């Protein structure tokens, strides 16, 4: 059986080209580009890289993206005050506070302060609630990007059995909800799941997002399954590795994402798409194709 590599890097470049045209059209219509504030608190090296990549992608498509970098010991009041300012700023349509925050800062207090209409991460309870009840809203970038990657590669979801490994706010929980909204039968597994391999071996689609390098090997996979790897860790040799043992799983899978170059670039392309959607919402323009979450 030949295996399709789900190339997120290539698709994200195509999406960024499309977004560049969309942004130019929006500037013609409204006289300003969409604006995204990516807020980095502290100097976590991985977060610095992610934030640099997000800002560079904005620059590429013409989204206004001011650098906002705060000291790791910034006070809660100052950070919340900054979010209030960004909520009021008419040039800013999206606000993303990079996680994790330094110890001592209350993540929920920060995320809940963001105006839901500018919540391009889709983490605010209003947006999570809208997603649960099936309204078109801003949805988390990584799982939304995975759906785009599947759709654009012609992988059907309806009626499939999807197994999601991990139950985080950022990936696992929203992934399960979004797959359900697309008529998959969904099982969510986590660190306490019994007989994990039995669960995953039933899956037509496996989404590995538990942060355990190379844990998902051939023993976890049904022949012909679609395998999505959200993991991103540094191996002993310094190279990036995912949660999937790529060499052993590749020959079994019908389609698989590489690490790097799979899910990661799709997360960034979706962040820009969410920013454009937030702009359209705030400017009273029709939304780009609606997302169905029934
Ligand atoms: N840290 C890792 N992934 C994410 C994400 O999608 N959004 C934010 N804000 N922080 C992250």
222 Cα–ligand 1 center, Å = 30
Question: Could you tell me the CATH number of the domain that includes residue 260?
Answer: 3.40.50.720
Position 205 confidence tier, pLDDT thresholds 50, 70, 90: very high
Residue 2: φ, ψ to 5°: -90, 145
155 Cα–ligand 1 center, Å = 26
Instruction: Check whether residue 153 and residue 99 sit in a common domain.
Output: no
Output the pLDDT for position 291: 64
Is 293 inside a domain boundary?
no
Instruction: Check whether residue 149 and residue 103 sit in a common domain.
Output: no
Domain hosting 188: range is 141-264
Query: Residue 30: which residues within 8 A CB-CB, separation 6 or more?
Result: 283, 285
Please tell me if the CB atom of residue 266 comes closer than 6 angstroms to any atom of ligand 1.
no
Please tell me if the CB atom of residue 196 comes closer than 6 angstroms to any atom of ligand 1.
no
Q: Measure the CA–CA gap between 28 and 154, rounded to whole angstroms.
A: 33
Instruction: Check whether residue 157 and residue 246 sit in a common domain.
Output: yes
Instruction: Check whether residue 98 and residue 178 sit in a common domain.
Output: no
Instruction: Check whether residue 57 and residue 146 sit in a common domain.
Output: no
Catalytic residue, candidates 93, 119, 121, 273: 121
pLDDT digits (tens, 9 = 90+) for 60-79: 999 999 999 999 999 999 99
pLDDT digits (tens, 9 = 90+) for 245-257: 999 999 999 999 9
Instruction: Check whether residue 155 and residue 260 sit in a common domain.
Output: yes
Three-class DSSP category at 193: coil
Is 6 inside a domain boundary?
no
Domain boundary among the residues 84, 118, 152 is at: 118
Q: How many domains does the chain have?
A: 2
Is 124 inside a domain boundary?
no
Output the pLDDT for position 293: 53
Instruction: Check whether residue 112 and residue 154 sit in a common domain.
Output: no
Instruction: Check whether residue 103 and residue 170 sit in a common domain.
Output: no
Ligand 1, atom 1, residue with closest C-alpha: 99
Q: Is the pLDDT of residue 294 over 60?
A: no
Q: How many CB atoms lie within 10 A of CB 286?
A: 8
Structure tokens at 208: 């590995």
Is 87 inside a domain boundary?
yes
Query: Residue 222: which residues within 8 A CB-CB, separation 6 or more?
Result: 200, 201, 202, 203, 204, 252
Instruction: Check whether residue 56 and residue 167 sit in a common domain.
Output: no
pLDDT digits (tens, 9 = 90+) for 7-66: 999 999 999 999 999 999 999 999 999 999 999 999 999 999 999 999 999 999 999 999
Q: Which residue has the tokens 């499939």?
A: 160
Q: Measure the CA–CA gap between 149 and 257, rounded to whole angstroms.
A: 9
> Is 71 among the residues known to form the active site?
no
Please tell me if the CB atom of residue 142 comes closer than 6 angstroms to any atom of ligand 1.
yes
Instruction: Check whether residue 109 and residue 164 sit in a common domain.
Output: no
Q: Ligand 1: which of 48, 49, 79, 99 to mutate, judged by most atoms within 8 Å of the beta carbon? A: 99
The mean predicted confidence, pLDDT, of the chain is 96
Three-class DSSP category at 127: helix
Is 241 inside a domain boundary?
yes
Output the pLDDT for position 287: 77
Average pLDDT over residues 166-191: 98
Three-class DSSP category at 172: helix
Instruction: Check whether residue 41 and residue 104 sit in a common domain.
Output: yes
> Is 121 among the residues known to form the active site?
yes
pLDDT digits (tens, 9 = 90+) for 83-136: 999 999 999 999 999 999 999 999 999 999 999 999 999 999 999 999 999 999
Atom of ligand 1 nearest to the CA of 267: 6
Distance of CA 256 to the CA centre of its chain: 17
Atom of ligand 1 nearest to the CA of 96: 9
Question: Could you tell me the CATH number of the domain that includes residue 35?
Answer: 3.40.50.10860
Position 236 confidence tier, pLDDT thresholds 50, 70, 90: confident
Atom of ligand 1 nearest to the CA of 121: 7
Is 165 inside a domain boundary?
yes
Instruction: Check whether residue 240 and residue 209 sit in a common domain.
Output: yes
Is 92 inside a domain boundary?
yes
Q: Is the pLDDT of residue 217 over 90?
A: yes
- The torsion angle over the Cα atoms of residues 264, 270, 272 and 274, rounded to 10 degrees, is -150
- Positions at the binding site for NADP(+): 166-168, 232
| Percentage of residues in the chain having pLDDT higher than 70 | 98
Is 288 inside a domain boundary?
no
């Amino acid at each position: 059986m030949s295996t399709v590599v789900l190339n997120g890097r290539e698709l994200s470049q195509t999406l960024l080209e499309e977004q560049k045209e969309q942004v130019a059209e929006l500037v013609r219509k409204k006289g300003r580009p969409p604006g995204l504030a990516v807020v980095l608190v502290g100097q976590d090296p991985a977060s610095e890289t992610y934030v640099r990549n997000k800002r560079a992608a904005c620059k590429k498509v013409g989204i206004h993206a001011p650098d906002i970098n705060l000291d790791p010991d910034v006070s809660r009041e100052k950070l919340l005050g900054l979010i209030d300012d960004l909520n009021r700023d008419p040039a800013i349509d999206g606000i993303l506070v990079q996680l994790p925050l330094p110890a001592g800062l209350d993540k929920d207090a920060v995320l809940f302060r963001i105006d839901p209409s500018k919540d391009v991460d889709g983490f605010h309870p209003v947006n999570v609630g809208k997603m649960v009840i099936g309204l078109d809203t801003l949805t988390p970038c990584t799982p939304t990007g995975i759906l785009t990657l599947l759709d654009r590669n012609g992988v059907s979801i309806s009626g499939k059995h999807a197994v999601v490994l991990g139950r985080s706010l950022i990936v696992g929980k929203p992934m399960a909800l979004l797959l359900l909204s697309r008529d998959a039968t969904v099982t969510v597994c986590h660190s306490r799941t019994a007989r994990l391999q039995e669960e995953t071996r039933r899956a037509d689609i496996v989404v590995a997002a538990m942060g355990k390098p190379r844990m998902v090997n051939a023993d976890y996979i049904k022949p012909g399954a679609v395998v999505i790897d959200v993991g991103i860790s540094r191996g002993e040799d310094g190279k990036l590795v995912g949660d999937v043992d790529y060499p052993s799983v590749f020959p079994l899978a019908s389609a698989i994402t590489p690490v790097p170059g799979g899910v990661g670039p799709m997360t960034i392309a979706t962040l820009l798409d969410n920013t454009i959607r937030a702009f359209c919402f705030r400017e009273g323009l029709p939304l780009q194709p609606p997302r169905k979450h029934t």
